[in-house]
Amino acid sequence: MTWLVWRQGRAEHALVAGLLAILALLLVLTGLHMHSVFSAMRLSSCTGDGQSLSIGCSLRGTSFLQRFDGLNQMGPWLGLVPGLIGVLLATPLVLELDQGTYRLAWTQSVTPGRWLTTRVALLMLGVLLVGLVMTALATYWRAPLDALGGHVGPNEFDLEGVLPVAYALFGASAVLAIGAVTRRTGLAVAGGFGIYLAARLVLRAVREHLIPPLHALTRPPAGPAGIRHAWVISQNYVGPHGSAGAYAALNHCSTADGDLDTACLVHHHIMSSWIYEPASRFWSLQAIEGGVFLGLSAVCLGLAIWWIRNRIA
């Protein structure tokens, strides 16, 4: 049965293997380069809170982040890959329902229950393994960037923790649910990936509200403790006469080299207003968003299994 499943989906499995190989090559090669530069710039001692870093550490850290900002911006696109792979892995089972070849398996001493259990179990196992591989690759790749800037921000949050696995499971489950009901492969693939994208966009939009963000007022240019590794949602300047007056005072207090005169800021009562999610909330946010996608996956998978058992088998 396992060999038959592999043979029926060999084209999709080969495509997934090729996609993973390309992704692994990209992340390992660029990751090795980032790790090498990180070590050469002696940044391992510059990974603490930005408020306590030396000027040299701050300059080297900023230079490193600017140098690899292009790679950092790849995060949102790489975050789509787990769902795409989940869709590809679920396609052979939907195609079998579409073409009706499952009936042949049921005549070869394989009961409908065993056929369904084996197909779904192998699908979920494959999706789980792919998600774990992607998590390991992304975690290694982003390690230098995370050490300097944290991993709770929008460009990196989707690539680590439990989310790649949850995304892949949801993508596969959505395709399987639509495919079981419609028995149309094209509709299932397009609809499943569309639902996956829509769910991702919605959760990304409301992520900052899953746990109410922290608010802090600090004397510029300093920020709250740990802000260097936090997800800064917004940062503004305020003063006795509102934001407009604060920015006018900032211009007045700027020195020739672009720094801010602290004594001048104190005189004008200028404060920085921060809204942010601290790095300490990474796993809490992961648990909430991952739980949402795992719950949606369970609903889709349950619908698919019920429909196949009661409407097809």
Report pLDDT digits (tens) over 125-149. Answer: 999 999 999 999 999 999 999 999 8
pLDDT given at position 116:
87
| Residue located via tokens 């779904």 | 120
pLDDT given at position 90:
94
Q: How many CA atoms lie within 13 Å of 250's alpha carbon, on the beta-carbon side?
A: 18
Low-confidence ranges of the chain (pLDDT < 50): 3
Helix ranges (H only) for the chain are 2-8, 10-40, 55-67, 69-72, 75-78, 81-99, 102-106, 112-149, 163-182, 185-210, 242-253, 262-268, 282-307
- Going from N- to C-terminal start, the domains of the chain cover 2-209+282-312, 231-277
pLDDT given at position 236:
86
Residue 308 structure tokens: 């196949």
pLDDT given at position 114:
84
Q: CA-CA distance, 214 to 155, in Å (whole number)?
A: 20
Q: CA-CA distance, 265 to 283, in Å (whole number)?
A: 37
Q: CA-CA distance, 59 to 68, in Å (whole number)?
A: 14
pLDDT given at position 205:
93
pLDDT given at position 100:
82
Q: CA-CA distance, 71 to 6, in Å (whole number)?
A: 35
Q: What is the pTM of this model?
A: 0.89
pLDDT given at position 222:
80
| Residue located via tokens 């696995």 | 165
Residue 178 structure tokens: 């639509």
pLDDT given at position 5:
53
**b/e code 72-97 from CB counts within 10 Å (16+ = b):** beebeebbbbbbbbbbbbbbbbbbbb
